[in-house]
Amino acid sequence: MGFADQRYAVNLSILFTELPLLERPAAAAAAGFTAVELWWPWPASPTPEPSGLDALRTAIEAAGVRLTGLNLYAGRLPGPDRGALSLPGEESARFRANIDVATGFAGSLGCTALNALYGNRVDGVDPDEQDALALENLVLAARAADRIGAVLLVETLNERESPDYPLVSAAAGVAVVDKVNAATGLGNTRFLMDLYHLAMNGEDLPGVIAAHAGRTGHVQIADSPGRGAPGTGTLPLEELLDRLAAAGYEGRIGLEYRPGDRPSAGAFDWLPATARAAR
């Protein structure tokens, strides 16, 4: 097997960002890809004007690509925010307001995965209180995702870049997944295995794959160190993806890396053009 035997989706919130948002789906298509994913494109607004949603939907459809993954509202990304659903007060309310808007948009495009970033710890707030709020909001999100036939993803980040984010191990992320599934009975909450973040945490990646591939709903990659394209760091990404496939993972691989000092269209030389279209 190898890189050419996987199915990919380009994350348009970290690649092709030199272009306006509405031009990125066509740029991904021109690079040979047929699937894309996005962080929530309006970081200041969980409920943007319908015209904005319509314009992005039209751009995706006109490019002939499929939206396969979408983050729910998570505040400013990139930036200091790392999610909203566990933050008491206004941010949690904004997350809840976003659920129906985001799932409606995702469902209109056949998107089958929604990612809910957990949120940073807040000084002066009991972590148990934040965890209870997070579970309540994740249950709401999982039920909304189920209504459009989608999975809800819970992601582990890395402690170096996100020191206030509580889910900085695969075990912690999977534990939240299990709690949400137990609360909803739906079984549609899954682990988002980001190999870059896990590597930055110093985890045993073959061990993580062996232990958690069965609970994994999506995989994202970037090389480490540097968060660049495969081959720019030291991670054996091709081997790791082969391990995932051998463990039964059949989903797409999200390309969530920085292009470096070049246009994004030039950041895919590690992947043969014939392998970029999702099968």
Rounded CA separation 189/94 (Å): 21
Give residue 83's pLDDT band: very low, low, confident or very high (50, 70, 90). Answer: very high
Rounded CA separation 16/267 (Å): 10
pLDDT digits (tens, 9 = 90+) for 152-194: 999 999 999 999 999 999 999 999 999 999 999 999 999 999 9
Rounded CA separation 196/73 (Å): 22
- Residue 52 CA from chain centroid, whole number: 21
**Domains assigned to the chain:** 3-275 (3.20.20.150)
Q: Give me the helices (H) in the chain, please.
A: 24-30, 50-63, 90-108, 127-147, 170-184, 195-200, 205-212, 237-246
pTM, entire model: 0.97
pLDDT of residue 1: 67
Rounded CA separation 250/208 (Å): 17
pLDDT of residue 274: 87
pLDDT digits (tens, 9 = 90+) for 99-113: 999 999 999 999 999
CA distances from 260 to 24, 56, 68, 233, 276 (A): 17, 26, 24, 12, 20
pLDDT digits (tens, 9 = 90+) for 110-157: 999 999 999 999 999 999 999 999 999 999 999 999 999 999 999 999
Q: Which residues are catalytic?
A: 155, 256
Rounded CA separation 119/167 (Å): 9
